[in-house]
């Protein structure tokens, strides 16, 4: 009785809650230390994560070249050269357009500023020129006050640029070897799990399929988004429309937050270059296009690779941004999608395959033997010698085992032709 007293003092509900709390605390500790490790190794973890995204994007080209008969090393080099050519060519075109159009942008912004100043004086606000000058001087004073902090930030960014360059080289190396030896690396990785390797293999392949669909679909949607917005900006005559289109394309990889950031910059440039009317028109087109993307393009192209609620996406983006900044926010959503798809495969075992059924043993079990069918010889004998079944031959009379009447299909004794039910055969 004394042994059962502590158990009786704790209600079952409280014991269950305590067990769940202990599990949650343990999971929280593991997640905390894992996040701390990722934060300390951010210049290694982020390049590897971006390399996985690039591998998922470029692997279809490498696989197509391999299936065409090309060696893996040559297929990988061609894929990397094509990707670098596209990136360098796009960067050169954007830089050339920006250098050409930036003076025009400055002139248009100055003209817009003069128009705004005139509207502030002659408009409903009726501000004085002295007040406007005072506001401009206050902004200039604030910028001069923060000059030291801005200079320190620039110097810090210069120091970080070396680490970013090293991370970029690491990302290229990881991408190259994943494209070339991805299957071998995965097989080597599975050897460390022993009997768990089949389950880990299923989880990894499900995660890779999800990542590939997400990256390829997101690139397609972002390309459509950037192309449409670039055409709109070019049609309005906004300077720097090509860099803004590329910015919108890159920002589309960060769901919800990215397009808000890029759209704000494009709207401000449009406002400074063309005025408030064109800026409002651009905002309206951007909102309509974003709704079409969310409700038409994303479900059709990306499909179910990412089936998250917007609240979950916001939380994941916040966690990724805290841990890794802009790059962390960019890779947070695909990482969460991969984990979400891989966990069910880790929890469940693969169903055992049933052995194939043989021809003599059908799935429903052996059928009971039916009544014997009369053979063709017996029918011929009965036709030639009627009554032979009922009468015994001399050879059969002398044998040890007498011949018994054959059973009919209806369950009775077969009678020779020409005999009635009551008559016995001679």
Q: Are 171 and 54 in contact (CB under 8 A)?
A: yes
The CA distance from 324 to 45, in Å, is 9
Across the range 362-388, mean pLDDT stands at 47
Across the range 254-270, mean pLDDT stands at 84
Q: In this structure, is residue 273 part of a structural domain?
A: yes
Residue 230 burial by Cβ neighbours in a 10 Å radius (0-12, 13-18, 19+): buried
Residue 296: per-residue pLDDT = 78
pLDDT of 423 over the 80 cut = no
**SS3 of residue 126 by DSSP:** coil
Residue 4: per-residue pLDDT = 52
Q: In this structure, is residue 293 part of a structural domain?
A: yes
Residues 6 or more apart whose CB falls under 8 angstroms from that of 271 comprise 112, 278, 279
pLDDT of 252 over the 80 cut = yes
Residue 292: per-residue pLDDT = 83
∠ CA 143-147-153, rounded to 5°: 120
**SS3 of residue 413 by DSSP:** strand
Question: Which range scores top for mean pLDDT: 18-32, 307-321, 392-406?
Answer: 18-32
Residue 79: per-residue pLDDT = 94
The CA distance from 251 to 260, in Å, is 9
Indicate the number of domains in the chain.
1
pLDDT of 407 over the 50 cut = no
Q: Are 327 and 38 in contact (CB under 8 A)?
A: no
Q: Are 332 and 316 in contact (CB under 8 A)?
A: yes
Q: In this structure, is residue 11 part of a structural domain?
A: no
Q: Are 330 and 254 in contact (CB under 8 A)?
A: yes
Q: In this structure, is residue 284 part of a structural domain?
A: yes
Residue 75: per-residue pLDDT = 93
Q: What is the DSSP letter of 353?
A: P
Going by pLDDT thresholds of 50, 70 and 90, the confidence category of residue 381 is very low
The CA distance from 249 to 262, in Å, is 9
The CA distance from 328 to 188, in Å, is 28
pLDDT of 176 over the 70 cut = yes
Going by pLDDT thresholds of 50, 70 and 90, the confidence category of residue 376 is very low
Going by pLDDT thresholds of 50, 70 and 90, the confidence category of residue 159 is low
Residue 21: per-residue pLDDT = 92
Q: In this structure, is residue 355 part of a structural domain?
A: no
Q: In this structure, is residue 64 part of a structural domain?
A: no
Average pLDDT, the chain: 75
Give me the residue label for tokens 């449409």. Answer: 228
Least confident segment among 75-79, 331-335, 345-349? 345-349
Going by pLDDT thresholds of 50, 70 and 90, the confidence category of residue 419 is very low
pLDDT tens digit sequence for 195-208: 888 888 888 888 89
11: number of Cβ within 10 Å: 9
pLDDT tens digit sequence for 92-132: 888 887 787 777 777 777 777 777 777 777 767 667 777 77
Across the range 241-255, mean pLDDT stands at 85
Q: Are 71 and 195 in contact (CB under 8 A)?
A: no
Across the range 171-196, mean pLDDT stands at 89
DSSP codes joined into one string, 301-350: IIGGG----HHHHHHHHHHHHHHHHHHHHHHHHHHHHHHHHHHHHHHSPP
Q: In this structure, is residue 103 part of a structural domain?
A: no
Residue 369, CA distances (Å) to 308, 366, 372, 406, 410 in order: 60, 9, 9, 17, 15
Q: Is 330 left (phi over 0), alpha (psi -120 to 50) or beta?
A: alpha
The CA distance from 76 to 172, in Å, is 12
What phi and psi values does residue 299 have, to the nearest 5 degrees? -65, -35
Q: In this structure, is residue 306 part of a structural domain?
A: yes
Residues 6 or more apart whose CB falls under 8 angstroms from that of 130 comprise none
pLDDT over 90, % of the chain:
12
pLDDT of 424 over the 50 cut = no
The CA distance from 317 to 314, in Å, is 5
Going by pLDDT thresholds of 50, 70 and 90, the confidence category of residue 413 is very low
Q: What angle in degrees, to the nearest 10, is found between the helix axes of 257-274 and 72-122?
A: 50
- pTM of the complete model beyond 0.95: no
List the domain range (segments joined by +) for residue 321. Answer: 197-346
Going by pLDDT thresholds of 50, 70 and 90, the confidence category of residue 395 is very low
The CA distance from 175 to 166, in Å, is 14
The CA distance from 247 to 217, in Å, is 18
Q: Are 337 and 306 in contact (CB under 8 A)?
A: yes
């Amino acid at each position: 009785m004394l042994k059962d007293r502590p158990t009786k003092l704790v209600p079952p509900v409280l014991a269950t809650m305590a067990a769940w709390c202990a599990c949650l605390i343990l999971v929280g500790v593991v997640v905390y230390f894992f996040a701390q490790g990722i934060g300390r190794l951010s210049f290694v973890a982020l390049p590897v994560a971006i390399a996985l995204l690039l591998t998922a994007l470029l692997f279809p080209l490498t696989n197509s070249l391999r299936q065409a008969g090309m060696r893996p090393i040559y297929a990988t080099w061609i894929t990397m050269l094509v990707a670098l050519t596209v990136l360098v060519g796009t960067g050169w075109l954007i830089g050339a357009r920006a250098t050409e159009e930036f003076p025009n942008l400055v002139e248009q912004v100055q003209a817009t500023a003069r128009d705004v100043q005139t509207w502030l004086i002659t408009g409903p606000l009726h501000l004085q020129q002295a007040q406007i000058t005072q506001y401009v001087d206050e902004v200039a004073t604030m910028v001069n006050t923060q000059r030291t902090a801005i200079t320190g930030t620039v110097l810090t960014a210069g120091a970080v640029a070396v680490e970013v360059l090293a991370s970029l080289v690491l990302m290229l190396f990881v991408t190259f070897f994943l494209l070339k030896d991805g299957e071998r690396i995965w097989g080597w990785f599975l050897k460390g799990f022993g009997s768990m390797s089949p389950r880990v293999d299923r989880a990894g392949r499900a995660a890779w399929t999800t990542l590939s669909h997400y990256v390829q679909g997101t690139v397609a949607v972002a390309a459509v988004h950037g192309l449409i917005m670039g055409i709109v900006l070019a049609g309005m005559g906004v300077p720097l429309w090509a860099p803004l289109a590329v910015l919108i394309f890159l920002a589309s990889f960060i769901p919800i937050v990215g397009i808000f950031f890029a759209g704000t910059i494009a709207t401000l440039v449009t406002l400074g270059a063309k005025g408030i009317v064109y800026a409002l028109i651009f905002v309206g087109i951007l909102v309509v296009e974003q709704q079409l993307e969310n409700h038409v393009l994303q479900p059709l192209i990306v499909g179910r690779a990412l089936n998250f609620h917007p609240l979950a996406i916001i939380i994941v983006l916040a966690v990724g941004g805290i841990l890794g900044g802009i790059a962390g926010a960019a890779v947070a959503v695909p990482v969460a999608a991969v984990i979400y798809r891989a966990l069910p495969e880790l929890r469940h075992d693969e169903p055992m395959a049933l052995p194939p059924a043989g021809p003599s043993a059908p799935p429903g079990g052996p059928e009971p033997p039916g009544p014997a069918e009369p053979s063709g010889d017996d029918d011929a004998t009965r036709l030639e010698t009627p009554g032979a079944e009922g009468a015994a031959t001399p050879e059969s009379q002398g044998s040890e085992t007498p011949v018994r009447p054959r059973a009919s299909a209806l369950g009775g004794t077969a009678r020779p032709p020409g005999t009635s039910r009551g008559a016995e055969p001679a």
